[in-house]
Amino acid sequence: MAESWLGPPFCKTLPLILPKLPSTFSPSPPSPCSSSMASFPIQHHQCRCSSNPNPTHNQPSMLVFSGGTAFNGVVEELKNFTTRVAHVLPVSDDGGSTAEIVRVLGGPAVGDIRSRCLRLSDHSTAEAIAVRKLLGHRLPLDSQDAKSEWYAIVEGNHSLWMDVSRPYRETIRAFLVYFQNQILRRSEELFCFSNGSIGNFFFAGARIFFQSLDAAIFLFARVSEIPSESLVLPVISTNDRLTLGCELWDGTIIRGQNEISHPTNGSTEPINKERFSAQALPSRIKRVFYMSSEGNNLLHEVFPTANPVVLEQLKNVDCIVYAMGSLFTSICPSLVLLGIGEIISSRSCIKVLMINGTQDRETSGFSASSFVTAISDALNRTYGDTCNRLQNLVSPSHYINTLFVPRDGEIPVDIDRLAAQGIFDVVVVDSISDPKLGIIYDPKSLIQALANLIGRQGNPR
């Protein structure tokens, strides 16, 4: 599956069809006749190997449901244990520079996917580090400074290009130029580059050029040299904009992921994701769902289809992980889709829920069993349209059989209630105290606990 998804190793020559790159960048939209394409072979002088010393076929396979922030901190450590991981991410983020791209150009949100791709990318050579630094770069907050720096990058004059070889430079720059041209063609919308992510711009340019989110991920994975057995999967494979909504227990409907988790009140400042940066919701969240982004009735619920590659991976992996992070806006959006709950409940593999170390706006007052209930309700599709509900609601223990909790975490671990849910395996993992985020998992301890669990259960591979 990995070979068919990410293709052969990147050290082989890859003929890509790229937008023709002008010799000099001009900040004006191209004429229709200038949209020709050129075949551009990418050649590499060496094949870079994973830092994991274990042969790939001996590594356990995992699927991780996560968002684009909390789990990023343990990705590097996870690569030392196994690279056979399918990272499943939502595409409904509507904050930061992602929001500006979606506003002007439409399409799905790519910020979380770009963030995970960068964490998985190679950094074993000076060039790999330079590419990672370029695609991870953010423009200044001041809009004029941001625009000036953006033009320097697109023109190829910025110092960020210094250690990037010509094949990489021309490949990346071609899609940045294409992104710029797409913005200029929409002259009715003034694009704000403030705090913009170069990686997001590259991703958006590739997606629009190929008219495919999957193709954009494929290209980004090749350019950043992600191990071929590591998959970065949008939970919904779409070229359309997706909007997340939630219903509170008091009947309130909130539209937009950011409004649910980190409301900005229209501010263009970077989103503050520190603990207690937003006041608690007026009522607990009952469910999350997808809302229409088109037409007059923007409160209309829609039912997108789960990415078939995600469904296929769920059927075959050795371990399923619900990672720490924003429960209702990072994890549950991937769980409410048709087919996800059905497959997970049918599997007899390891299924781990990693409880957060601190409370946040979405989970104020939650205990560990409350997290389990939220996961189960999302997978059962308990609330909402009865036509989409699982005919026979599945008990929590069919979805989760092990709980990881960080030592000294804020979430109460109600053992009796967990036992009533059928969950008896609770593993306490060493934690660290972050001045901004509070209690978080110690990455080494977390991955070691995961390795011990898989070893204890017996790795079928």
Residue 386 has pLDDT above 90, yes or no: no
Domains of the chain (ranges; CATH) run 2-26+37-47+103-227 (no CATH), 243-457 (3.40.50.10680)
- What is the spatial distance between Cα 170 and Cα 20, in angstroms, rounded to a whole number? 10
Retrieve residue 37's tokens.
């394409």
Q: What are phi and psi of 215, to 5 degrees?
A: -65, -35
Q: Which residues pair with 243 in a beta bridge?
A: 291
**Percentage of the chain with pLDDT > 90?**
69
Return the H-helix or E-strand segment holding 222.
helix 213-223
Residue 27 has pLDDT above 50, yes or no: no
Q: Are 400 and 349 in contact (CB under 8 A)?
A: no
- Of 303, 339, 347, give the one whose Cα is nearest residue 321: 347
- Over residues 252-270, the pLDDT tens digits come to 999 999 899 878 665 555 5
- Over residues 41-95, the pLDDT tens digits come to 333 333 343 456 566 778 999 999 999 889 999 999 999 999 999 999 999 888 7
Q: Region 240-248: what's the mean pLDDT?
A: 92
Residue 134 has pLDDT above 50, yes or no: yes
**pLDDT in the model for residue 34:** 37
Residue 162: how many CB atoms within 10 A of its CB? 10
Q: What are phi and psi of 288, to 5 degrees?
A: -115, 155
**Contacts for 171 with CB less than 8 Å, ≥ 6 apart:** 16, 18, 40, 42, 223
pTM summary value? 0.86
* Average predicted confidence (pLDDT) for the chain: 86
**Contacts for 37 with CB less than 8 Å, ≥ 6 apart:** 17, 18, 19, 20
Choice among 93-102, 321-330, 407-416 with the minimum mean pLDDT: 93-102
- Over residues 270-317, the pLDDT tens digits come to 555 555 556 788 999 999 999 977 655 556 889 999 999 999 999 999
